[in-house]
Structure 1
Amino acid sequence: MSDHPSSSSRFTAKIGLRWGDMDAYGHVNNVQYHRLLEEARIRAFSHWFHASGSERMLRSGVLLARQEIEFLSQLTYRPEPVSIEMWITRIGGASWEMAYDIGDPDSETVYARAESTLVAFDTAAQRPRKLGEDERSALRAYLGEPAAMRRRR
């Protein structure tokens, strides 16, 4: 299970499922998708910010401000990992937005799409902080289009 940068400015993490991720209906419970996204995000941040020499993000803090998931296909337990592609869709003053596709690395199946808003946070001061140019540069390397999610009115 390796994590690697993928084509088209996306980072891909392969995350294994746990037997306990299933619910009484025999599919991966919706709450577990948040855990999968968190694990993938941690791997991406480690790669993005270590590779760029910008470790301030990893030391200072990041808050998840918003997360939306659109479920597209039922995911059942399997020994093979799922593939989570991630990319940046917007960079603001102290925040950025990320998009995700959770899928099967061996097929075209996409189980879910998600979007998150994250905020650079100063844990000592307990407030958001502006992104540094090195952090912006690391995020820009993965800049792409918003997730292809159905929009609510």
Structure 2
Amino acid sequence: MNDPTPHAHPDRKLLLTTRIPVRWGDMDAYGHVNNTVYFRYCEQARVEWLEQSGSAVTPNNPVAPVIINASCTFLIPINYPATVVLRMYGGEPGRSSVMTWYELGVEGDERIYAEGSSKVVWMDPRTGKSVPLPEDIRAKVS
């Protein structure tokens, strides 16, 4: 099992820290947050970061960020009531994409409860083809 304590990643840049309250309905039959909800927490952080970066996901944008893969490793169960503290990191940008990583913890506890990643690619919604990473996004992750 991975070490569940926060650690530094010299190849990653902290992009966002957000807090998300765990809802009663986030739990499963075992009394802890359902594994699918962790992906929703990461999605929420990603959307917050995109909105703050000027790349909000809206039908009017000429270029749109989409994820092409996502993963999550569950280290410690999260239970209700709690507030998730999610740290989102970015890596070296590519031509049209950037890797993002997530560390999920619980407020008041320094351990990492889950860690995940996703690759975000910018595309032209009209063609479905990748497009160069917007310069403002490139600057934020570099």
Normalization by structure 1: what TM-score?
A: 0.76
Name 2:100's counterpart in structure 1: 98
CA deviations on 1:98-120 (whole Å, 9 max, x unpaired) are: 11100023221211001111100
> Distance between the aligned counterparts of 1:137 and 1:10, measured in 2?
11
Point out the structure with the larger helix share.
1
CA contact (8 A) 2:70 2:116 kept: yes
| Greater relative CO, 1 or 2 (CA 8 Å, sep 6+) | 2
CA RMSD, Structure 1 to Structure 2 (Å): 1.8
- SS state of the match for residue 123, structure 2? strand
Render the CA deviation track for 1:31-67: whole Å, top value 9, x for unaligned.
11111110111111112x13xxxx4876221111111
Cross-structure match for 2:6 = none
1:69 aligns with 2:96: no
Amino acid at match of 2:49: A
Q: CA deviation at 1:127?
A: 1.2
Residues 79-90 of structure 1: matches in 2 within 5 Å? Answer: 80-90=82-92
2:22 aligns with: 17
What is the CA–CA distance in structure 1 between the aligned matches of 2:34 and 2:125, rounded to whole Å? 31
How far, CA to CA, are the matches of 2:107 and 2:100 in structure 1?
A: 20
The CA distance in 2 between the partners of 1:120 and 1:98, in whole Å, is 13
Q: Name the residue aligned to 2:140.
A: 138
Which residues of structure 2 form unaligned runs of 5+?
1-12
Q: Distance in 2 between matches of 1:131 and 1:10?
A: 16
Aligned residues: 127
- Return the offset for 1:28: 0.5
Return the structure number with greater strand share. 2
Contact 2:14 2:89 in 1 (8 A): yes
One-letter amino acid matched to 2:74: F
1:57, 1:120 within 8 Å by CA — same for their partners in 2?
Answer: no
TM-score by length of 2: 0.81
